A and B are shown apart, each in its own frame.
Chain A
Amino acid sequence: AIQMTQSPSSLSASVGDRVTITCRASQGIRSDLDWYQQKPGKAPKLLIYEASTLQSGVPSRFSGSGSGTDFTLTISSLQPEDFATYYCLQDYNYPRTFGQGTKVEVK
């Protein structure tokens, strides 16, 4: 199974900060990577698919980049509603595998 490693596992940031989360795959996965946001007690929400395509309705402050093994999720200016946990997911093959998550907390 492809291993997905996210970093950092948590970070503290302030409203307005630029935030970057990385995800590394244990083998090349082309651009077959999604990013999800999850708030406590809620279901995950799709933010970005195919590494860089913004899901409909997601604010443009979210962006994704990368291909092969290294990927990045960037929030250009953190908003209060963005404090949450973020997961990457490879959909290159089965079994699908998630990263372990990155919790974005208030500084």
Chain B
Amino acid sequence: EVQLLESGGGLVQPGGSLRLSCAASGFTFSNCALSWVRQAPGKGLEWVSSISRTTGITFYVDSVKGRFTISRDNSRNTVYLQMNSLRVEDTAVYYCARHSGTTSSPFDYWGQGTLVTVSS
């Protein structure tokens, strides 16, 4: 059974940092690209970042470029999202999502989400 388990969310002050983790199981991790998608309270879904299967190619939404870094450790079956210089508008539930294959493929499995709250 495919499982994605996010962790690392919490309350942080504006300008602070957090690192989200997503531990995967139930599939061959290096065969799938991975992404982070967020949802602000009461709002719609927003794609944040993606990373390819093995080459480390990454993509970011403009609003997080230079502040967020996605990475993966294929030996630990884990994907990360390092979030620096956090802003109030980054407050959201952050979902880890698996692509069915390459970064061009759809998100076929999602984690349960982890809440990030940026507030003073």
How many A residues touch the partner, as a band? 20 to 34
Q: How many Å lie between the Cα of A49 and that of B100 in the bound state?
A: 11
Q: How many Å lie between the Cα of A32 and that of B45 in the bound state?
A: 18
Q: Given A46-B108, A95-B61, are A87 and B45 neighbors across the interface (CB < 8 Å)?
A: yes
Q: Given A43-B112, A45-B110, A46-B108, are A100 and B95 neighbors across the interface (CB < 8 Å)?
A: no
| Of A36, A49, A55, A94, the contact of B59 (CB 8 Å cutoff) | A94
Q: How many Å lie between the Cα of A49 and that of B59 in the bound state?
A: 21
| A98 and B46 within 8 A (CB) | yes
Q: Given A43-B110, A98-B47, are A91 and B105 neighbors across the interface (CB < 8 Å)?
A: yes
CB distance from B62 to the nearest CB of A (A): 7
In the complex, number of A-B residue pairs with CB atoms less than 8 Å apart: 57
CB distance from A33 to the nearest CB of B (A): 9
How many B residues touch the partner, as a band? 20 to 34
Q: Given A43-B95, A43-B111, A44-B95, are A91 and B106 neighbors across the interface (CB < 8 Å)?
A: yes
| Per-residue interface assignment for chain B, residues 65 to 95, with 1 indicating a CB less than 8 Å from any chain A CB and 0 otherwise | 0000000000000000000000000000001
Contacts of B46 in A (CB 8 A): 98
Residues of chain A from 9 to 66 with CB closer than 8 A to chain B in the complex:
32, 34, 36, 38, 43-46, 49-50, 55
Q: How many Å lie between the Cα of A34 and that of B46 in the bound state?
A: 14
Q: B65 — nearest CB in chain A belongs to which residue?
A: A95
**B28 part of interface (Cβ distance < 8 Å):** no
| Per-residue interface assignment for chain B, residues 23 to 64, with 1 indicating a CB less than 8 Å from any chain A CB and 0 otherwise | 000000000000101000000111100100000000111100
Nearest 6 Cβ contacts at the A-B interface: A43-B110, A96-B47, A49-B106, A94-B59, A34-B106, A101-B44
Given contacts A89-B107, A96-B47, 4 further A-B contacts (CB under 8 A): A43-B95, A49-B100, A91-B106, A95-B61
